[in-house]
Amino acid sequence: MNGAADGPGRGSGLSRRTLLGAAAIAAPLGLGLAACGSASSGASAEATASTGTAAKGGSMRIARPPASSAESLDPASSLSAYEYLGALYNRLVKQAEDGSVLPDLATSWESSADSTTWTFALRKGVTFHNGKAFTSADAAYTLAHILDPKIESPQAAVLSPFLSASGISTPDAGTLVVKLSSPNAEFPSLLMNYNCYVIPDGSAKTIGSTGIGTGPFKLKSFVPAGQGTVLANKNHFGGAPILDSIVFTAIADIQARVNALLAGQVDLIAQTNIDYATSKTVTASSIATTATVKNAEWYVMPMLTKASPFTDVNVREAFKIAYQPTDLLDLALHGRGTVANNNPVPPSDANYLDYKVAPDPDKAKSLLKTAGLSATQQLYTSSYDAVLTPLALAYQSSVKNAGLNISIQTASADSYFTDVWMQKPFCVSYWYTGRPVDQLLNQIFRAGSSYNETTWSDAQFGSVLDAARKESDAAKRKQHYQDAQKILVDRSGSIVPFFADRTTGLSKKVVNYKEYGFEFDYLHIGFAA
């Protein structure tokens, strides 16, 4: 989400969307409820969920963590009610299981030789939920809406360095042309982000409550941080969904979501990573089970670089080398993950840099002494996510050898990403994997981004990312991204101890469960007869 859903909230007073996203971007998760099926796992999930043929009709009950009491159905917003988005909307492009870019509302695209002009051919015969035909005007408006400073969209910081509303044109109803101010060879991949769901032309003032899109479901009701219902869109261009409806219930506390699953009150707990002990309880249940996705999230302890003591790069280095990564992985996750060495780019990414600074408690102690840091430092956590507090406690224990005293402060789950995240100097957070490397580095770590949770600003880091975007040669572009990773590991305010396998809970009636990050393929959700 943050992670916050996929992504978190903002220091500007905006609250984060679970991850804690948008996140941001993985492709589908297909679900169904069926009368029969055998245990199996999908390509990405080590799941005990069943597979089988889902019957037509019915309503699925999903428990989700709310973004905030001010959450919105506007996809561009950092306060978007994330789970609704994939049901209500489509994007120009979407992400395949292997990370490649697939058509959605755009059927094809091509660029000029210098990667500055991109032309998208749009799908014909698509209508919004209100009956209005989808055209290039809607696609152009969506991009301009994201770029509007008043919206404060997390995606704006990713796109605005090379795109402005004046560079977007519509030669005809079926064609969108985007002219960039500087080359970007990976531009279509940035439109897979969940902030990029397409909304109707002129809908900025109402989209947050109406949820009018082209998606497989249309809105019946929505209460921010409360309950809402979506109904099947029989006219969806990809075919009608299997379910008749989905009921979303917002439950801030993770244990309460699990309890609702075990009581048979919900069929799936979304945006939820349950801990090791709880997963054993769920799998022992007669009505529920779990599914696990490898390295689905990365956990982070952001140090607010504009707040004392983290204005000092030497203090940030000390906090990074004071702990033993394997200790944190074992204590917080029971080994269910992969050591990250303070690099949020996953090892599976083609641009990954295998670089680390070895733990050195003695050097950390020396750096802290030089900085004059001796007081106890507060580390904030909450029950919003099951791994946050175990991670905080593991870090507290691991850094004692470096003479670093950490006091754990537990904050309320329902206000954690508004009152603590990006407000307190040191806290625990998380994000979903799945973002293209350009999106990841620019959205979460670049100065000026509303998702830059450490407020870190580094001119060299920004220059390297700019060079990567302009580079058409894939090998040279990769080198730029790897240079950026080294700067991030050495100088940023982010402690990234590990990637976590994500385990969620679902009813044993659910079949064909698949997850590639944090999105659902709502067309495949079904209910047993």
Q: What is the pLDDT of residues 60-109, one digit of tens each?
A: 999 998 878 889 999 999 899 989 999 999 999 998 776 678 999 999 99
Length of the chain: 529
Tell me the pLDDT band of 173, cut-offs 50, 70 and 90.
very high
Residue 525's pLDDT is: 67
**Which residue type does 288 have?**
A
pTM: 0.76
Q: How far apart are CA 297 and CA 329, in angstroms?
A: 13
Residue 31's pLDDT is: 39
Residue 245's pLDDT is: 95
Contact assessment for residue 177 and residue 169, using Cβ atoms and an 8 Å cutoff: yes
Taking residues 345-365, what's their average pLDDT?
95
CA dist 258 → 281, 334, 365, 462 (Å): 10, 20, 41, 42
Contact assessment for residue 173 and residue 66, using Cβ atoms and an 8 Å cutoff: no
Residue 338's pLDDT is: 97
Least confident of 129-133, 201-205, 257-261, 438-442: 438-442
Residue 271's pLDDT is: 80
Least confident of 287-291, 319-323, 395-399, 427-431: 287-291
Q: How far apart are CA 100 and CA 115, in angstroms?
A: 18
The dihedral over CA atoms of 123, 526, 49, 52, expressed in degrees to the nearest 10, equals: -100
Non-local CB neighbours of 179 within 8 Å, separated by 6+ positions: 116, 117, 167, 168, 169
Taking residues 38-60, what's their average pLDDT?
60
Mean pLDDT of the chain: 87
Residue 448's pLDDT is: 85
